[in-house]
Chain A
C-alpha cells in the first residue's frame, strides 16, 4: 500500500502533471511501430502444423485417370444448368448425388435485408463414413456462384466428382457432407444456421437430413468454364464473420498439401504477387487486418467459423499449368488429413496475423500494439480525473499578495519530505468536490443516441441508403456545435464539467477497445487509431486561469488551435472516414452500407455496433469538448 500511496503522491508533482499527454502519444506511437516491425524475421515465425494427427501430405492421392472424364462430364452438366431456375437446378444436382448412392436433401432460404430479397436453394448430400458412427462430419462446399457472382462451374463439378469418388473409399471415419450452396454468403449461412438449429424458421427452412458435429469445412471456388482453365496458384481465404479466424492448423494443412505435395503455390489476401519482401509482408498483413476488421463474409467458409467449425476457401487464381486434377488431389489429401483428426482442431492458434503463406505472428506478439493504443485513452482518462479534482486556482507564481489586511490568513500546511520542510497553501493539497451528474448523464445519453443511426441504417432500403448517409453525415457534423451551444445556454459549463466529460468518454473508449481487442484485434486497432486524436482534444481547453483574468490575446492562440481541432475532428468522424475510405478504394458508399445491412440481417455482423455505439459516441463527445473549447465560454 505504501508504494501505491507514494505513487499517488506523485500527482502533486508538476512534472507528473505534464507527463500524461506525452505518455499517451508515446503509447500510440509505440503501438503503431510495434505493428510495423512485426513482418521482420525477428518478430514473425514460420508456420508449423501443431496437430500431429493431421499428417498433411503423408498419403498417396489417387484422384486422377478416369475421374478426369467424369469431371468433364459433370462440368458439361453444370453448364447446362446455368440458366435454369433454382428448383430445377437443385433437383438435377440432387439426382446426381442420388446416383452416387448418397442421401440428399434440399433447403430454401429467403432473407430480406436493405429492402432486397436474397433467396436461393441449397442442395447437399451426406456420405456416411464406412467407419463412422455419424457423430462427426466434415463439409465440402461448392457455392453455385462465387463471391463475384460468377458461375462456379468447375468448382461445383469438382464437388460432384469428389462425391462420387469419395463414396468408393472405405477409409472414411467421419461423415462427409457435400454442400452446393445457392450463393457464396447467404446460402452457407442459412445451411449452417439450420444445421445448428439456430435459424429463424420464417426465413430459413429446417434441414431434413443431418449428420454429426462439424469438424471442418473446405470450400472450392473454381469458376473455370466448360473448356477448363489452367490456374497458377491457390488463393486461401481464411477469415470469418466478425473477424473470427479458423484454426491455423487448417490453413497450414492446406498450404503444406498444396505447395509441399502438389507443387501449387499459395497466396492470401489477394496478394497475387508476393516476393517475400518487407513491404509485401506488411501489405499482406494490413490487408488481412482490414478484412478482419470489417468482419464481413469473405467466402462461403466464413459463415461456418462462428459455429466453431474451422473452414477455409480454396480459390484458383492466375494462368499457369495447374489443372482441375491437381485441385482435386489437394482436396482429397485435405480430407484424408481431416479424416485423421481425433478431436476438434484446437492445438494451433485461433488468433494470428498472416503475412505470407508460411509466416505468421501469434496473439502474444501482436496484441500489445492494440492494447497500447487502448491504454493511451485510459492514461488520459486517469490524468483528466486527477486534473478535475485539482483546486480551481493554480498555485500563484511569485510572491503571494498579502492577505492579512483583511484579517484572512491563508491556510498553510507544513510538508516535510526527505528532511526538507516547505510551507504550501493547504488548498493545493485538497481535492475539490467533483460534480459528476451532468457529465455522466451526457456520456450515457450520447452512447444511447448511437442506437438511432444503428437502427436506421440497418432498416433502410438500399435505394434510400445514399440519402440517409448524406443526411446523417450532416446531422452528425452539426450536432456537436449545437449541443455545445445547448450546454452553454443551459448553464455555463465549468472547466471541471468538460474535463470530466472527456474523462468518462475516454475511459469508456479505452475499456471498450481493450475488450474488443480480445475479440477482433484488427477492428480494435483500426478504431483505436482513428480515435487516437480524441485523447488530445482536452489540451485545447484553457488549463486554468491565474486568478486574475488574463489578457485576451493569451486566449486567442488556444482558441485558434481549438478551431483547427474542430475541423480535424470533423474530418475524422466515422461517417466522413467511411466516405473517404470508400472513395479512395473506389467503392460506392451505398455498396458498403448495403453490405453492412445484409451482414447484420444475414450473418449477425457486429461491426456497425462497434461503429455506432463505441466510435461514434466517443467522437461526438470529443467534438463537443473541442467546440466548447473553441467558443471559450468556460467557467472556473
Chain B
C-alpha cells in the first residue's frame, strides 16, 4: 500500500513532536504521569510500573492493591527494555499507538459512514473534512499529546475502540470482534459499544452484499457475533488466568475496581467526590444507579439513531468520557477525534463556541484549583470538584448539542422547507 505524501508528513510531524517533547523535556512525562486529569487508578503508568516490578519478581502483581490493569499488559511491557535506562523504547511504543489510532481513524473517515450510512445520507455531506485533516485533528489535539506523554494504558483501549469501529464500518466482522474483545478486556466499559457497532457492521455488510448474496438475517448475525465476542473475551481472560499463575484474583482487582470503585483518587469525572461523601450503606445502591445510568444510553441511542450507528458510537464515547467511573482527558480526546468525523453538523450546533470556551476555561482552572488544594493547601477538594463539574457539564452539553444537530440534520431531510428556520421544542 503506497502511503501518500500528506499522510507521511502528518505521521512524521506527529511522531516528531512527541519524540521531541519526550527527549527535550525528560522530566515532563513523569510530571504528567502524576497528573490526576490524565492518569487514573486504572490506567496510570506509575501503577503499571509497580505491577511490572512485582510481575518480573515473580510476585502476583495484584498483591499490593495498587495495580488495577489488565494482566496481558504485563508481558508486553516486560518485553520492553528497562525504562530507566532506555526510555526511548516505551516512548516509541506510545507514539506508535497514537499513529495507529490515527491511521484507523483515517480509514474510518474514508468509509464515509459518518455522512452516508445505509439508510441515511446527509444533505451536508460535501462539508466533511478530508481523512488527513481528521487524523491531524486527533494527532495534534493537545489532550492527545499530553496523554501520549503521560503514557496511561488508556491509549491501548482507545486504539482498540477505534480499530473496532473502523473494522465494523468496513464490514470486517472478525477483526471488529477481536478488536472489541481487546478493548472490553482492557477497560470493561467498551463492551457497551457492542450494539451500535454490531448495527454498523450489519448495515455495512448488507450494503456490500447487494441483492446478489443473501445477507444473513439479523438474528443469526446477533447470535454469531455475541458468541464470538464472548469467546474472544473468554480466550483473553483464560490467557490472563494462565499468565498470572492459574489464579482468578486479577478479576476483582481489575473489573472489580471498575465496578465497585474502591479507589477514590480524584479525577475529572463525577464519581469520586460523590462516593467520598456518601454513607457506606448507600454505596451499593448508588454504584448500581451510576452504572445503570451510563449503560442506559446504549439502548435508547441505538434505537433513536438506528440510521446513523456511527454517531451512536461517537455519542456513547462522549457519554463515557463524562460518566465513566475513572475518566480522563484521553477519553475526551478520543471523543473529539470521533466528533471531527461529524464536521458537517457543526454549523447546526448552537453553542459550540461557548462550550469549547467553557472546556478551555475548565482545563486551565482545573490544574490551578488542584494546585491550591493539594500543594498550596489554601484550597480544598470542593475547588477541584467544582471545576470537574464545569468540565463535565461542558462536555455533556457538547454531546447534547451534537445530538441535536444530527437530529436536526435528519429532520431537514424529512422536511426541507424548515431548513434554516428556528426550531422550537414544544
Contacts of B422 in A (CB 8 A): 5, 9
The DSSP consensus for interface residues of chain B is: helix
Contact indicator B353/A382 (Cβ below 8 Å): yes
The answer to the question of B285 belonging to the interface, with a C-beta cut-off of 8 Å to chain A, is no
Whether B371 contacts A519 by the Cβ 8 Å rule is: yes
Do A378 and B364 contact each other (CB < 8 Å), given the known contacts A426-B420, A518-B369? no
B351 touches A350 (CB 8 A): no
Smallest Cβ distance from A70 to chain B, in angstroms? 38
Which of B347, B372, B377 makes the CB contact (< 8 A) with A519?
B372
- Check A515 against B347 for contact (C-beta < 8 Å): no
Complex Cα spacing A4 to B422, Å: 13
- Interface 9-mer from B5-13, B82-90, B332-340, B354-362: B354-362
What are the residues of chain A within 8 A of B378 when measuring CB–CB?
A: 244, 350-351
The answer, yes or no, to whether A536 is at the interface (CB within 8 Å) is no
Question: Closest B-chain residue to A415, C-beta based?
Answer: B422
Distance of B232 from chain A, by nearest CB (Å): 41
Query: How far apart are A387's CB and chain B's nearest CB, in angstroms?
Result: 12
When chains A and B are docked, how far (Å) is the Cα of A350 from the Cα of B375? 13
Residue A518 contacts which of B354, B372, B377 (CB distance < 8 angstroms)? B372
B32 within 8 A of A: no
* Contact indicator B420/A429 (Cβ below 8 Å): yes
Across the interface, which residues of B come within 8 angstroms of A306, CB to CB?
Answer: 376
Which residues on the B side are within 8 Å of A518 (C-beta)?
365, 368-369, 372
In the assembled complex, the Cα of A438 lies from the Cα of B368 at a distance in Å of 30
Contact A512 B424 (CB under 8 A): no
How far, in whole Å, are A4 and B349 apart by their CA atoms in the complex? 13
Chain B 36-55: CB-based contact to A (< 8 A → 1; otherwise 0): 00000000000000000000
Residues of B within 8 A of A573 (CB): none
Smallest CB-CB separation from A386: which chain B residue? B353
Q: Assess the B354–A308 pair: CB atoms within 8 A.
A: no
Q: Which residue of B has the minimal Cβ distance to A385? A: B353
Q: Nearest Cβ distance between residue B392 and chain A, in whole angstroms?
A: 18
How distant is the Cα of A519 from the Cα of B372 in the complex, in angstroms? 7
Q: Give a binary string over A374-408; 1 marks a CB under 8 Å from any B CB, 0 the rest.
A: 00001001100100000000000000000000000
Selected from B357, B371, B376, B425, the residue in CB contact (under 8 A) with A378 is B357
A577 interface contact, C-beta 8 A? no
Min CB gap A296→B, angstroms: 18
Please, how many angstroms separate the alpha-carbon atoms of A588 and B417 in the complex? 71
Chain A residue nearest to B133 (CB atoms) is A437
CB of A382 within 8 A of CB of B425, answer: no
Q: Are B357 and A507 in contact (CB under 8 A)?
A: yes
Across the two chains, which residue of chain B brings its CB closest to A349? B378
B345 to chain A, nearest CB (A): 14
B375, A511: Cβ atoms closer than 8 Å: no
Complex interface: chain A residues within 8 A of B304 (CB): none
In the complex, which residues 397-450 of chain A have their Cβ closer than 8 Å to any Cβ of chain B?
Answer: 413, 426, 429-431, 433
User: Given contacts A4-B351, A244-B376, is CB(A519)–CB(B368) below 8 Å?
Assistant: yes
Once the chains are docked, how many angstroms separate the CA of A350 from the CA of B36? 24
Taking the closest CB of chain A, its distance from the CB of B94, in whole angstroms, is 22
B360 touches A308 (CB 8 A): no
* Shortest Cβ gap from B421 to chain A (Å): 8
- Decide: A2 near B424, CB < 8 A? Known: A244-B376, A308-B376: yes
Give A246 Cβ to nearest chain B Cβ, in Å: 10
For residue B421, which residue of chain A has the nearest CB?
Answer: A413
Q: Indicate if the CB atoms of A511 and B376 lie closer than 8 Å.
A: no
Who on chain B is nearest to A516 by CB?
B368
Chain A hits for B347, CB < 8 A: 431, 433
List residues of A (1-49) whose CB comes within 8 Å of B's CBs. Answer: 1-2, 4-5, 8-9
Q: State whether B420 touches A430 (Cβ < 8 A).
A: yes
**Cα distance A146–B218 in the bound complex, in angstroms:** 83
Find the A residue at minimum CB distance from B357: A507
Q: CB distance B365 to A514 under 8 Å?
A: yes
Q: Is B293 an interface residue (CB 8 A)?
A: no
Residue in A closest to B376 when the chains form the complex, CB atoms: A244
A516 CB contacts on chain B under 8 angstroms:
368
Q: How many angstroms between the C-alpha atoms of A537 and B345 in the bound complex?
A: 33
Instruction: Give every chain A residue within 8 A of B372 (Cβ-Cβ).
Output: 518-519
Residue of A nearest to B361 (CB): A511
Q: Is the CB of B360 within 8 A of A382?
A: no
Q: Which residues of A contact B420 (CB under 8 A)?
A: 413, 426, 429-430
Measured between beta carbons, the chain A residues less than 8 angstroms from B357 are 378, 381-382, 507, 511
**What distance in Å separates the Cβ of A149 from its nearest Cβ neighbour in chain B?**
30
In the bound assembly, the distance between CA atoms of A426 and B421 in angstroms comes to 10
User: How many whole Å from B349's CB to the nearest CB in chain A?
Assistant: 11
| A11–chain B nearest beta-carbon distance, Å | 11
Tell me the complex Cα distance, A514–B366, Å: 12
In chain B between 368 and 389, which residues have their CB closer than 8 angstroms to a CB of chain A?
368-369, 371-372, 375-378
17 contacting pairs across A/B (C-beta < 8 A): A2-B424, A2-B425, A5-B424, A8-B350, A244-B376, A308-B375, A351-B378, A382-B357, A385-B353, A430-B420, A433-B347, A511-B361, A511-B364, A515-B365, A518-B372, A519-B368, A519-B376
10 nearest A-B residue pairs (beta carbon): A350-B378, A308-B377, A515-B364, A515-B368, A385-B353, A515-B365, A511-B361, A518-B368, A511-B364, A519-B368
A308-B375, A511-B364 known; 8 new pairs, CB 8 Å cut-off, are A2-B425, A5-B424, A8-B350, A306-B376, A350-B376, A385-B353, A511-B361, A515-B361
Binding site for A on B (CB under 8 A): 347, 350-351, 353-354, 357, 360-361, 364-365, 368-369, 371-372, 375-378, 420, 422, 424-425
